[in-house]
Amino acid sequence: MKTIDLTVNWMFYSTLLLVCIIIYGVSQTSPLLSNILTISSYLLLAGVLVSLSLAVINRRYVHLDKAGISYSTGLNTQYIPSDAIVDIQLLQIGFIKVLEVQLSDHTKTRFYSWMMSNEELQRTKKIISEQ
């Protein structure tokens, strides 16, 4: 069975880490909001590092195949059957590419932490349309 495994979106995580650094830097220059911004930057940093660690050790993943999409959030696994998928596309948000899956019930699921090339997108559309 043909399966496409998505890789970690390093640009997304780099951007989040940069935001953490900026928030922390602002907290050091602003005495009024210092505690709130420092705590916020540490909480965001902890979330980013946990998410990235789970992705690197393969506890978080996205697999695309003929049956549909299976993805793990780290704690549980979700499935999107191929017959529920209307469209798959790559969105460009700033300089970050985001995979967006439009479902038959008019909802959209976006995978920010995962990277997909245009070639993989075409292969995915071909695999899912083969049902």
Q: Please, what are the averages of pLDDT over each run of 10 residues along the chain (131 residues)?
A: 86 95 90 89 95 91 91 90 92 91 94 92 86 63
Measured CA to CA, the distance from residue 112 to residue 31 in angstroms comes to 34
**Which pLDDT value is given to residue 115?**
92
Enclosing H/E stretch for 118: helix 118-129
Burial of 9 (0-12, 13-18, 19+ CB in 10 A): buried
**Maximum alpha-carbon separation in the chain:** 60
**Which pLDDT value is given to residue 38?**
92
Residue labelled with tokens 């071909």: 126
**Which pLDDT value is given to residue 131?**
63
First and final C-alpha spacing in the chain? 12
Q: Could you tell me which of 86, 87, 91 has the C-alpha nearest to residue 116?
A: 91
Contact (CB, 8 A) for 127 and 108: no
At 14-42, the pLDDT tens digits run: 999 999 999 999 988 888 888 999 999 99
**Which pLDDT value is given to residue 74?**
82
> Which domains can be identified in the chain, with CATH numbers?
1-131 (2.30.29.30)
**Which pLDDT value is given to residue 37?**
92
- Work out whether the CA dihedral 74, 106, 13, 123 comes out positive or negative: positive
Q: Which two tokens stand for residue 95?
A: 């300089």
